Amino acid sequence: MSEPVEPAEKVRTFPTTPGVYLMKDAVGRVIYVGKAVNLRNRASSYFTKAAAVDRRTAELVKVIRDIDFIEADSEVDALLMEARLIKDIQPRFNIDLKDDKSFPYLQITTHEDFPRVEFTREPADRGVKLYGPFANAKALRGAIAVLQRIFRFRTCTLDIDADDEKWKWYRPCLLYNINQCTAPCNFRISREEYKKDVQRLRLFLDGKKETLLDELREEMAAASKALEFERAARLRDEIKLLENLNLRGDLETHEQPEVFYIDPKKGLAGLRKVLGLDAPRSEE
């Protein structure tokens, strides 16, 4: 029987991909869960001289006897996996996130015609689906920004009534013009189609990305067969963005890579439309 590998040595064999790491005590209990963009680098940082004396990590480092990891497809996936594990395991050193309402949550309203997706530190008691709590507020805000580019949900506070005709004359915000929202505020999307988008988001948040991708591919094939080429193209783009989540930038700085590139001319055109400005003569 081989000798157990010390945690400080074990982390050197970790992959350099995104994921979560699970620290354990002498009896094998998970005492801390964390997420990482680079598992090897992040986990190794706990076994340095600086970590041993840092007030935030010193007590944790003293009782670590083993460490494992779970790989994730992207930093967004790792963030969501971390939240699910903390909620389920409630590790000693993660603080008690379950009952502490000061930690951030992703909240989806369930009682509205066009559900909202929100960042909140004060989750509602009813009429919502909650995800979290999350350990990092900046990363959660970054994840919401990334996911909005894919699922194009609304984050505004408008109370949109699908039976109220006044919304037909409401002017959508800039997010619609740069293709980050489907503008339910102007009925640019039906209640049924919008809720389908939110259901897809929920599948992803529940950790069922492969199931979601399979459904999207089936829908894209059906749309193409029915000659619904615009719908098929949108589904194709959604699939591509989901598959390329690992190409994005750092969640905490909200930097976006080329996979989320927006044509500057389209962005300016959208801004002019929102502000009611005339196009430059060169574009007329």
Mind listing the pLDDT tens digit for each residue in 163-176? 999 999 999 998 99
- The pLDDT assigned to 259 comes to 34
- The pLDDT assigned to 103 comes to 82
- The pLDDT assigned to 262 comes to 43
Report which residue type is found at 201. Answer: L
- The pLDDT assigned to 24 comes to 95
> Could you give the CA distance from residue 51 to residue 47 in angstroms, rounded to a whole number?
6
The first and second tokens of residue 64, run together, are: 């670590």
- The pLDDT assigned to 260 comes to 37
Beta-sheet pairing, 19-24 with 105-109 = unpaired
> Prior bond to 133 cis, omega within 30?
yes
Residues 44-57 have pLDDT tens digits of: 999 988 887 888 78
Residues 199-246 have pLDDT tens digits of: 999 999 998 999 999 999 999 999 999 888 888 998 999 999 898 876
Residues 87-130 have pLDDT tens digits of: 889 898 887 545 455 789 999 999 999 999 999 998 888 999 99
Buried b (16+ CB within 10 A) or exposed e, 155-165: eeeeebeeeee
Average pLDDT over residues 119-146: 90
Kindly indicate the confidence band of residue 250, based on its pLDDT and cuts at 50, 70 and 90.
low
- The pLDDT assigned to 156 comes to 93
Buried b (16+ CB within 10 A) or exposed e, 86-121: bbeeebbbbeebeeeeebbbbbbeeebebbbbbbee
**What does pTM read for this prediction?**
0.77
Residues 11-67 have pLDDT tens digits of: 999 999 999 999 999 999 999 999 999 999 999 999 988 887 888 788 898 999 999
> Could you give the CA distance from residue 43 to residue 7 in angstroms, rounded to a whole number?
9
